[in-house]
Amino acid sequence: MSRPLLNALHLNSGQRSGLVGAALLSAILVLIGLMVMWFGERYHLRIVYSAYVNLLVVLGLQVFMGNAKITNLSHSAFMGIGAYAAAICVTPVQIKAMSLPNAPWGLNAFQLDPVTSAAIAIVVTGLIALVVGLLIVRLSGIGATIVTLALLVIVHSIFLHRTDIFKGKQAFFGIPKIFDLTSILIVTVIVIFVARLFRESRWGIRLRASSDDEVGARAMGVDVFRLRLVAWVLGAVILAVAGICYAYFLGTISARPFYFTHVFLTLAMLILGGMRTVTGAVLGTILISFGLEGVRWIETGPDFGLVDLPELLGLSGIALGVVIVATMALRPGGIMGNREIEMLFSRRQD
């Protein structure tokens, strides 16, 4: 077989198994969603919905962090930007006149349909990510991480300070609640395919190579900065989608959820599952979401009949921290390491 053909076949097989893997993951996620819709109660729906929003965040995080191997701490900020941008566009004028009477640039004088609003939010987030990304992709390691950290702090201060646009610590209300579990299932499936296909694409493979050996990849002609930028912007777009899903379901947003607590929660999910794979992102999110629900139940001090546990505030935080430390000590690559879901079923397990 000639060499180009071999290369082409190789690429195709990677992408084919990527499609299989994405389909498997989607099937599992849709199954969970359907089970909850059929058998769950109302509050189950809310819990599962927020778990799926977090899954979208973790996937957005994985696209950049997993492929470029640079710890990102600003993802919740991009989620916030997406959520606020969509919220500002979609909220009815009457409500905005009440909640944002002093908004500049006529932000309270128009109203768009949800789809256009979402599209604008995605474009705005993508553009901001592009500008910031131009600075971030040139750094690597701890330097890049600290700039993402700075970004998180900056965005959060702007949310808090510009109360005339974002309402700061108060709730931004009146967003039409148009999403339900079905909508987010569809979005999740799309994002799973996007993330997985990006990982197996030419860009994804080169980016992963550059994260293992930056100098080596450069020597082979990989434009590391450009690829990082692509992954960064794609990640930000996915994060914006997560923010939009969050806003369209709750109808009310505030700046607080887009800060450190959420950053660490989603980071823990990605780390536990294994940041190098999409399967890891999904697995980590599922494990931690379910696990935390259990821990929270203990936290409220349930009555076991014989033993009445006291309220244990902070237990979920401890559990999350222990999960991170234990994962790092025992399995730094996360549970999945470098394996995607379909490899678990194939005979060749490497």
Partner 1 sequence: MDYVIQQSLNALSFGAEYALLALGLAIVFSIMGLVNFAHGDMIAVGGYTMVAFVAMTLGNPLIVIFAAVLMAVLASVTLERVAFRPVRYADPTTGLLTAFGVSMVIQNLFLLFVSPRPIAVTTLYFLDWPIDLGGISISSLQIFETMTTVIAITLLVLFLKRSTLGLAMRAASVDFEMVRLMGIKANRVVAMAFAVSGLLAGIACVFIMARRGSVDPTMGFNPVLKAFVACVVGGFGSLPGAVLGGFLLGAVEVGMLVILPQSYGGMKDAFVFGIIALILVWRPDGILTPPAEKGDKI
> What's the min distance (Å) between Cβ of 234 and partner 1?
21
Phi, psi of 340 (to 5 degrees): -95, 170
Phi, psi of 111 (to 5 degrees): -155, 130
**Sole binder of partner 1 in the list 23, 28, 95, 139 (CB under 8 A):** 139
Q: Does residue 312 belong to the site contacting partner 1 (CB under 8 A)?
A: yes
DSSP-assigned letters across all residues of 63-127: IIIIHH------HHHHHHHHHHHHHHHHS-HHHHHHH-TT-STTTTS----HHHHHHHHHHHHHH
Using the minimum distance from each CB to partner 1, give the nearer residue, 70 or 192.
Answer: 70
Q: Does residue 123 belong to the site contacting partner 1 (CB under 8 A)?
A: no
Report whether 59 contacts 198 (CB < 8 A): no
| Distance in angstroms (rounded) separating the CA atoms of residues 25 and 28 | 5
E-state strands within the chain: none
**Number of residues located near partner 1, criterion CB under 8 A:** 43
What length is written for the chain? 350
Using the minimum distance from each CB to partner 1, give the nearer residue, 178 or 328.
Answer: 328
Report whether 14 contacts 200 (CB < 8 A): yes
CA distances for 70 relative to 74, 87, 137, 207, 338, angstroms: 12, 30, 9, 11, 16
Site for partner 1 in 153-212 (CB under 8 A): 153-154, 157-158, 160-161
Helices 42-61 & 181-200 angle (0-180, nearest 10): 20
Q: Does residue 72 belong to the site contacting partner 1 (CB under 8 A)?
A: no
CA distances for 346 relative to 63, 79, 201, angstroms: 24, 36, 21
Using the minimum distance from each CB to partner 1, give the nearer residue, 307 or 330.
Answer: 330
Using the minimum distance from each CB to partner 1, give the nearer residue, 92 or 337.
Answer: 337
Q: Does residue 146 belong to the site contacting partner 1 (CB under 8 A)?
A: yes
x-or-dash string of contact with partner 1, 265-284, rule CB under 8 A = --xx--x-------------
> What's the min distance (Å) between Cβ of 183 and partner 1?
33
Q: Does residue 257 belong to the site contacting partner 1 (CB under 8 A)?
A: no
> What's the min distance (Å) between Cβ of 205 and partner 1?
21
CA distances for 60 relative to 75, 169, 311, 328, angstroms: 8, 26, 35, 21
Scanning 95-103, 194-202, 264-272, 286-294 for contacts with partner 1 by CB under 8 A, the matching segment is 264-272
**Sole binder of partner 1 in the list 36, 128, 147, 255 (CB under 8 A):** 147
**Sole binder of partner 1 in the list 313, 338, 344, 345 (CB under 8 A):** 313
Q: Does residue 145 belong to the site contacting partner 1 (CB under 8 A)?
A: yes
Burial of 13 (0-12, 13-18, 19+ CB in 10 A): exposed
Q: Does residue 58 belong to the site contacting partner 1 (CB under 8 A)?
A: no
**Sole binder of partner 1 in the list 325, 337, 338, 346 (CB under 8 A):** 325
| Distance in angstroms (rounded) separating the CA atoms of residues 243 and 253 | 10
Residues near partner 1 (CB under 8 A) are 69, 71, 135, 138-143, 145-147, 149-151, 153-154, 157-158, 160-161, 260, 264, 267-268, 271, 312-318, 320-325, 328-330, 332
